[in-house]
Structure 1
Amino acid sequence: MSDPLVSALKIASSGMQAQSTRLRVVSENVANAETTGATPGADPYARKTVTFKSILDEVTGAHMVEVGDIGTDKKPFESDYDPGNPAADANGYVKRPNVQMLTEMMDMREANRSYEANIQVVKQAREIINMTIDLLRS
């Protein structure tokens, strides 16, 4: 394989790994969108965020992506009046997670599209490699 094909495969692979992590975090956010604190007045589940960073592969000279950090969203929690809830504070308010389902669905769709684009890069590189092998056989 030529160096550009190796670089393309490595870049696509790093993108797929990063977007896979992003999809896992989005799934965790969706699963915990209604998770309140365990004790009265406790903070609920805090939305997680993923940041990416560019890294240089010294062997190929290609810039690849990797997960830089999985952090928590600093947006404030909303409160609902629900005095019967075990997580309610002394005033009857329950803090709700700062997860917005629309945001999570958009993140999921974007990560899925990026993952699929990287799969297409791998397919194209594989096709070029197979065509090269076929030419060498003739």
Structure 2
Amino acid sequence: MTEFSSALSVLSSGMRGQGQRLRHISENIANVDTPGYRRKTIEFRAAVEDGRRSGAIEAGPVQLKRGDLPRIYDSAHPMADAEGYYDGSNVELVTELADAREAQRSYEANLKMFEQVRRMSAELFGLLKR
């Protein structure tokens, strides 16, 4: 039975990780027009238990996309400098939408496997009751 519980643990960690990724993507999309906003990303790493990789994942710290922010000319903008420019956001909507689709599909794949493992364990219990 430990195989079932470890499989469920691995799959739930994947679902948690993709959920966190989707939260950051939605923050990025919400702030696509926010001056000075930097794109947030997270990386996943293998979870370690008792000195061994467990197969599960854990999210690393939030990372901000580095580099120069685009300079936008709008002399009427309240954040514009004396020359009429302000720093824009480095979020690209097309990239965020592609990442969101990838995270959604990964989440759904983990969910389907989670349901399959749950069904298999229920059938095993049913066989053992006989």
Query: Taking structure 1 as the reference length, what is the TM-score of the superposition?
Result: 0.88
Q: Residue 116 of structure 1 corresponds to which residue in structure 2?
A: 108
Deviation at 1:115, TM superposition (A): 0.7
Deviation at 1:123, TM superposition (A): 0.4
Q: Tell me, which stretches of 5 or more residues in structure 1 are unaligned?
A: 37-43
Partners in 2 of 1:72 and 1:85 — Cα distance? 25
Deviation at 1:56, TM superposition (A): 2.1
CA contact (8 A) 2:46 2:53 kept: no
Q: How does 1:6-21 map to 2 (within 5 A)?
A: 6-21=5-20
**1:136 counterpart = 2:113:** no
Total equivalences in the alignment? 130
Q: Residue 69 of structure 2 corresponds to which residue in structure 1?
A: 77
Q: Residue 40 of structure 1 corresponds to which residue in structure 2?
A: none
Cα RMSD, aligned residues only: 1.6
Report the identity percentage: 39
Q: Tell me, which stretches of 5 or more residues in structure 2 are unaligned?
A: none
Query: Taking structure 2 as the reference length, what is the TM-score of the superposition?
Result: 0.93
Q: Residue 31 of structure 2 corresponds to which residue in structure 1?
A: 32
Partners in 2 of 1:85 and 1:64 — Cα distance? 47
* 1:69 alignment partner, SS class: coil
Q: Residue 95 of structure 1 corresponds to which residue in structure 2?
A: 87
Shift of the 50–95 alpha-carbon distance from structure 1 to 2, 3 Å rule, reads: same
Q: Which runs of 4+ in 1 moved over 4 A?
A: none
Once the two structures are superposed, what CA deviation does each residue of 1:11-67 show, in whole Å capped at 9, x if it has no partner? 00111111111000000000010011xxxxxxx111111111111234x96221011
Q: Residue 117 of structure 2 corresponds to which residue in structure 1?
A: 125
Partners in 2 of 1:116 and 1:87 — Cα distance? 42
CA contact (8 A) 2:34 2:89 kept: yes
